[in-house]
Amino acid sequence: MTAPTIKRRPTRRVLPVVAGMLFLSALVRLGAGAGQVLAGEGAAAPVEASVPSQGTAELLAAFKTREERIVAKEAAIDARMQELYAVEAELAAQITALEEAEASLSATLAIADSAAQEDVARLARVYEAMKPQDAAALFGAMDPGFSAGFLGLMRPEAAAAVMTNLEPQVAYAISAVLAGRNALAPTE
pLDDT reading at 188 higher than 70: no
Residue by residue, DSSP assigns 112-156 as: HHHHHHHHHHHHHHHHHHS-HHHHHHHHHHS-HHHHHHHHHHS-H
Determine the pLDDT at residue 105. Answer: 92
- Classify residue 137 as exposed, middle or buried by CB count within 10 Å of its CB (0-12, 13-18, 19+): middle
Residues with Cβ within 8 Å of 181's Cβ and at least 6 positions away in sequence, in order, are 148, 152
Q: For 133-169, write each residue's pLDDT tens digit.
A: 999 999 889 898 888 888 888 999 999 999 999 999 9
Determine the pLDDT at residue 19. Answer: 83
Determine the pLDDT at residue 27. Answer: 81
Determine the pLDDT at residue 78. Answer: 94
Determine the pLDDT at residue 34. Answer: 41
Q: For 62-116, write each residue's pLDDT tens digit.
A: 999 999 999 999 999 999 999 999 999 999 999 999 999 999 999 999 888 888 8
Residues with Cβ within 8 Å of 144's Cβ and at least 6 positions away in sequence, in order, are 170, 173, 174, 176, 177
pLDDT reading at 29 higher than 70: yes
Determine the pLDDT at residue 37. Answer: 47
Cα of first residue to Cα of last residue in the chain, in angstroms, is 134
Alpha-carbon distance of 145 to 180, in angstroms, equals 10
Alpha-carbon distance of 167 to 137, in angstroms, equals 9
pLDDT reading at 50 higher than 50: yes
Q: For 119-135, write each residue's pLDDT tens digit.
A: 888 988 998 999 999 99
Determine the pLDDT at residue 35. Answer: 47
* Most confident segment among 14-23, 30-39, 56-65: 56-65
Average model confidence (pLDDT) across the chain? 82
Q: Give the other-Cβ count within 10 Å of 138's Cβ.
A: 13
Alpha-carbon distance of 160 to 141, in angstroms, equals 18
Determine the pLDDT at residue 77. Answer: 95
